[in-house]
Amino acid sequence: MHDDRTLVEARLRRVLDERIRPAVYPESVPLEVAVWHAPGEPVPVAEGLAADVEPITVGSRWGAPWGTSWFRVTGTVPEAWAGRTVEAILDLGFDENMPGFQCEGLVYRPDGTPVKGLNPRNQWVRIGAPVQGGEEVRLHVEAASNPVVMDYRPFTPTPLGDLETAGRDPQYTLARMDLAVLDETVWHLVTDLEVLGELMAELPVDSPRRWEILRAVERALDAVDLQDVGGTAERARSRLTDVLAVPAVPSAHRISAVGHAHIDSAWLWPLRETVRKVARTAANMTALLDDEPDFVFAMSQAQQWAWVKEHRPEVWARVKKAVAEGRFVPAGGMWVESDTNMPGSEAMARQFVHGKRFFLDEFGVENDEAWLPDTFGFAAGLPQIIKAAGSRYLLTQKISWSRTNSFPHHTFRWEGIDGTRIFTHFPPVDTYNCSMRGAEIAHAVRNFKDKGAARHSLAPTGWGDGGGGTTREMVAKAARLRDLEGSATVTWETPSAFFAKAEAENPEPPVWVGELYLELHRATLTSQAGTKQGNRRSEHLLREAELWAATAAVRTGFPYPYADLDRIWKTVLLHQFHDILPGSSIAWVHREARATYARVADELGGIIDAAQRALAGEGSVPLLFNAAPHTRSGVPAGGARPAEMSGRTTRAERPDGGHVLDNGLLRVGVDARGLVDSALDLAAGRETIAPGRTGNLLQLHQDLPNMWDAWDVDEFYRNTVTDLTDADEVTPGDDGVTVRVVRTFGASRVTQVLSLPPGEKRLVVDTEVDWHETEKFLKLAFPLDLHTDRYASETQFGHFFRPTHTNTSWEAAKFEACNHRFVHLQEPDWGVAVVNDGTYGHDVTRAVRGDGGTTTTVRVSLLRAPRFPDPETDQGVHRFRHALVPGASIGDAVREGWRVNLPERRLHGAGEVAPLVTVDRDSVVVTAVKLADDGSGDVVVRFHEAHGARARATLTAGFPVAGVEVTDLLERPLADTAPPAVDDGRITVRLRPFELMTLRLKRA
């Protein structure tokens, strides 16, 4: 037989495109359209429905950036269409290649009932099936003219990312507003041919199955009368029946399709627009569930569910009904799909507390899985948190984006820093917007790395963001792929059903230990410094507010602000979303975030002040309140008393124009350029700074990644560096015992103050940068005279080691990494810590000197200046505090990290305030002291072992205790854990390295 394969395949493409797809809607009549453009922010539905409208015609421009237009479409079904299926085709000016990134709409009936969303791949609204002739049609469309921020030339700087700079020019052209007859037979023929054509293209050319499909398709095309597609569609379909009925082979890969719409809680749109995106998608999906009995849809992010409940009660009612039926599934159990690298220990825990509690309170549903398809890597402390929240599984997709190394598993157990293992799945389909194309399904099969041990994978199916979720076309394709030879089998299932099957078939999968590092998007640890500092400050203010309010409530009857703390926590958690905290959203998002963090700081400051005043009472005794988990200035953790002052600091001028700072513990040399050329640990007789090098060195790099400007820093940035050594001023500080350094470069100015606190072995570097650079990366370097092949970075509830060398491509790829409050480097008997109050990105490199010694350089990432998606990223004034701590053990690093983030608070009062709880070991760090969320008055204490060693510790309550329970993060007793004994308020616990524990103390 002659090889005519390419001829038939080309024929299929043309006939589908030019004849069969156009015949899906064989007849149409135009609708009348009128519009009202809302003058400002979105209005309530009732106001939009009642607004006075003006006529508008197809082809007209509409929609200023970020505007809202209410379209009213009216018409009459022709009498000749009686008994047929009729739909409205409402094309607002969509580009089908951009689902989720442009205009969108939500359709309402005149009484305000939501019908469904309108999206680039979902432009239809069912009028009737069958319809009655003469039927009047009246629909309203709330249309959002969201501008296209990331266009066909992505990463181009644009003013469209902020309402204040976007202008008023119309963004879209009204394209089609018609009533049309839907020929369902032709629609099904299109789906048949698409499924078979896509499958055929993925099969080997020498596969018999490919040729069977080819001949069946050829017969179907022969059966189509190109001048009467509708009249011959059924005949054409009959030619495909046999080839569609051949079942999959028994060994076929099995795909669990989960209806999905990954919706970024903010990104190239502001938070307020996400509220509407979620409502449109939820309306779409509940409508699709009504039409498709096998379909299952899962939605994550409790915050998004809460938005629907608050802002779209009419959609919420439909959602609740679908949840009760088990087909609209709450997923993930987190408040938002947060970043997991940067949120602190308690914040990461509270993501699960608030997420899971919302789903439990609203639906009685508890999630077993963490659902984070798009998060930019996963911190090594996360497995323990997932388990402590009562969950068992993790799903993500993003690691498939890694640029250097291909992750070796798709299903595995992920082991965290404490030894906790979580069953984890990376869908091999390599997208969280699967559309059931044959190429996607075939890629999942080929790509699946666990063949032989497992045969199940998951496919999140649907258009994300504003794309509207799963479409009826995807459902139709999945139905044909349920059991089809040559393809994986596809079944709609819930995430929990998938994980149960996957774990049952592969109970002992391979294990991956440590962080799941994404070899991409490393610059998200630095971009938008103001947002990151707002997050860090908010986390610590929340700790203080809970600690002092709980202490005051127990001691004085102070009214514990349950509702306020709940609301503020949810606000902070929302802003940890994986495009807000990482700094990868438009200017509007970060402008609002800065304002929100300022309000949060004011409100929490008020709670802290009121609680501390209640505790201090009236008096003139100077009190230092210590919210850190370690004793400071003689004040116990969680208590208040007069501070104990010890030691003094001196400053002397050097002959070379430099300065020497000395406090008896540390002697620091600052040269005439304001650089640190010596940091001598006097007790150890050990120099910290490498010979011939200087610390406190600001370094400026050119920084234009190949793509993803706010997200990425590419390794070649290191090829170009300018050391900022010229100083405008190096002078004594106003107090006489500090050194002030001023530098200017480009259009920017840096002012630093170097200080040695009395009685403390740390050099504090306060840096103020008035930043006006573009596409530059600013680092602060400390070259250390220290030899080590690894270093520790703080993460949630502990720390994690990374290599200082680049033996393999895996190590070399980690050229920019995350830390929380500290990094620590250690030789067996001496170490150094670098601590910070709000930066996350850093790099550590090593070099061997001519004298045989090793220089290990720690560089803190301060600022970047990408131009997309925010053209003015980080322009303005920023303040940072870092400290270099010579001679530091890991315990010193932990303590100093807390110290720099929880500054002292001073107040006059009647006398000492005893801590509510104390712990007798520094290695056991208390991260939260609060009252139980249920309003019972019980005291909840959360703590962990922080040094990486086993610990036996005694926790002592400063109040009568009637009983104690070990709980999960949601403050529920752990059924399989015996409560520790209480002896006169003393509770003894034993902890594994980095083990997290939560105790609930019942007050007597």
List active site positions. Answer: 374
Report d(CA 862, CA 913) in Å as an integer: 38
> Which of 715, 716, 719, 696 is CA-nearest to residue 813?
715
> Which of 298, 421, 366 is CA-nearest to residue 968?
366
What is the maximum alpha-carbon separation in the chain?
A: 103
3-state secondary structure of 700: strand
Strand 739-745 vs strand 822-827: parallel, antiparallel, or unpaired?
unpaired
CA distances to 192, 289, 471, 474 from 292, rounded to whole Å, are 18, 5, 11, 11
User: Which helix or strand (DSSP H or E) is residue 554 part of?
Assistant: helix 529-556
Q: Give the CA dihedral 778, 784, 790, 792, nearest 10 degrees.
A: -70
Angle at 650 between CA 649 and CA 655, to 5 degrees: 150
Three-class secondary structure assignment of 474-510:
HHHHHHHCCCCCCCCEEEECCHHHHHHHHHHHCCCCC
Three-class secondary structure assignment of 342-364:
CCCHHHHHHHHHHHHHHHHHHHC
Angle at 206 between CA 203 and CA 210, to 5 degrees: 45
State the burial class of residue 235 (Cβ atoms within 10 Å of its Cβ: 0-12, 13-18, 19+). Answer: middle
Query: Exposure pattern of 604-638 as b/e (b: 16+ CB <10 Å)?
Result: beebbebbbbbbbeeeeeebbbbbbbbebbebbbb
Report d(CA 177, CA 60) in Å as an integer: 12
Q: Give the CA dihedral 907, 908, 913, 915, nearest 10 degrees.
A: 10
Which residues pair with residue 669 across a beta bridge? 660, 678
Residue 42: CB atoms within 10 A of its CB come to: 18
Angle at 877 between CA 875 and CA 879, to 5 degrees: 130
In sequence order, the 6+-apart residues with CB closer than 8 A to the CB of 84 are: 130, 131, 181, 182
Report d(CA 139, CA 77) in Å as an integer: 13
Report d(CA 894, CA 898) in Å as an integer: 6
Phi-psi label, residue 436: left if phi above 0, alpha if psi -120 to 50, beta otherwise: left
> Which of 41, 351, 313, 16 is CA-nearest to residue 193?
16
DSSP code at position 799: E
Query: Exposure pattern of 903-922 as b/e (b: 16+ CB <10 Å)?
Result: eebebebeeebebbbbbebb
**Given the structure tokens 């010229």, which residue do they identify?**
726
Token couple for 993: 């390295």
Report d(CA 530, CA 593) in Å as an integer: 9
